[in-house]
Structure 1
Amino acid sequence: MTVPTSPRPKAPSDALYYVYALVVGGIVGLVGSVFHILVERVMEWPAWVIRTVPGGAAYFVLAAIAAAMVLASVWMVRRFAPEAAGSGVQEIEGALEGLRTVHWKRVLPVKFFGGILALGAGLVAGREGPTIHMGASISEAVTRWVALGTRDGRGLMAAGAAAGLAAAFNAPLAAVLFVIEETRRQFPYGFRTYTAVIVGSAASAVVTEMIGGTAPDLTIAVPDMPLGVLPAFVVLGACLGVLGVVFNAVLIASLDAALGISKRWSPYLVPGVVGVVIGILALLRPEATGGGEQLVLTMTGENLSVLALAIIVVIRFAMTMASYSTGVPGGIFAPILALATAVGLLFGGLLSLVVPLPPGASVAFAVAAMGGLFSSTVRAPLVGMVLVAELTGAYDLLLPVIATCVTANVVAEALKGRPIYEVLLERTLRLSGQTMPPSGSDDAMGGWDEPERRHPDRLIPDKPKPGA
Structure 2
Amino acid sequence: MPGARPSLKTGRAFVVAAAAGCLVGLVGGAFRWCLEHADRLRGSLVGTAAGLGVAGRLVPVALCAVGAAVACAIAQRVPHAAGSGIQHVEAVWRQESDQHSLWLVPAKFVGGVIAIGSGLVLGREGPLVHMGAAIGSVAGHRGRLDAEDARLVHTALGGAGLAAAFIAPLGGLLFVCEEVTRTIRPRLVLLTLVGTVAAVVCSLSVVAGAPVLPMPEVPDPPVWMLPVFLLFGVAAGALGAAYSALVVRTLEACDGLTRVPATVRAAAIGAVVGALMAVDPLLAGGGDPLSMRLLAGGGMTVVALGTYLAVRFVAGPLSYAAATPGGLFAPLLALGALWGTLAHALASPLLPGQAAGPAAFAAVGMAALFAGVVRAPLTGVVLVVEMTGTSVLLVPLLVACFAATVTADRLESEPIYDSLRRRMLERP
| Fold similarity call, TM over 0.5 | yes
Give TM-score scaled by structure 2 length: 0.94
Structure (1/2) with the larger helix percentage: 2
Cα 1:146–1:11, aligned 2, differ >3 Å: closer, same or farther? farther
Shift of 1:175: 0.5
In 2: Cα distance, 1:248 partner to 1:412 partner? 10
Give TM-score scaled by structure 1 length: 0.86
Based on CA coordinates, which of the two structures has the bigger radius of gyration? 1
Shift of 1:247: 0.8
Q: Which residue of 235, 238, 243 corresponds with 1:242?
A: 238
Match in the other structure for 1:117? 114
Match in the other structure for 1:466? none
Q: Retained in 2: the 8 A contact 1:49–1:58? A: no
In 2: Cα distance, 1:249 partner to 1:277 partner? 21
1:271 aligned to 2:269? no
* Aligned counterparts, 1:267-346, within 5 A: 267-301=262-296, 302-346=298-342
SS at match of 2:134: helix
Q: Retained in 2: the 8 A contact 1:14–1:192? A: no
SS at match of 1:211: coil
Shift of 1:260: 0.8
Match in the other structure for 1:36? 32
1:98 aligned to 2:100? no
| Stretch of structure 1 that moved more, 141-150 or 224-233 | 141-150
Counterpart code for 1:319: A
How many residue pairs were aligned? 420
Match in the other structure for 2:399? 403
Counterpart code for 1:288: L
In 1: Cα distance, 2:116 partner to 2:317 partner? 15
1:72 aligned to 2:67? no
Q: Which runs of 5+ in 2 are unaligned?
A: none
Shift of 1:57: 1.8
* Cα shift readout 1:424-460 (whole Å, capped 9, x = no counterpart): 100111113xxxxxxxxxxxxxxxxxxxxxxxxxxxx
1:83 aligned to 2:84? no
Identity among equivalent positions (%) equals 36
In 2: Cα distance, 1:367 partner to 1:50 partner? 29
Q: Which runs of 5+ in 1 are unaligned?
A: 1-8, 433-468
Match in the other structure for 1:199? 194
Q: Which residue of 251, 254, 258 corresponds with 2:254?
A: 258
Question: Over aligned residues, Cα RMSD in angstroms?
Answer: 1.7
In 2: Cα distance, 1:50 partner to 1:205 partner? 33
In 2: Cα distance, 1:147 partner to 1:96 partner? 18
In 1: Cα distance, 2:289 partner to 2:47 partner? 21
1:155 aligned to 2:152? yes
SS at match of 1:13: helix
Shift of 1:360: 4.7
Shift of 1:250: 0.8
1:392 aligned to 2:397? no
1:131 aligned to 2:128? yes
* Aligned counterparts, 1:404-423, within 5 A: 404-423=400-419
Regions of 4+ moved over 4 Å: 9-12
* Cα shift readout 1:79-115 (whole Å, capped 9, x = no counterpart): x114111110000001111111233222111101000
Cα 1:236–1:137, aligned 2, differ >3 Å: closer, same or farther? same
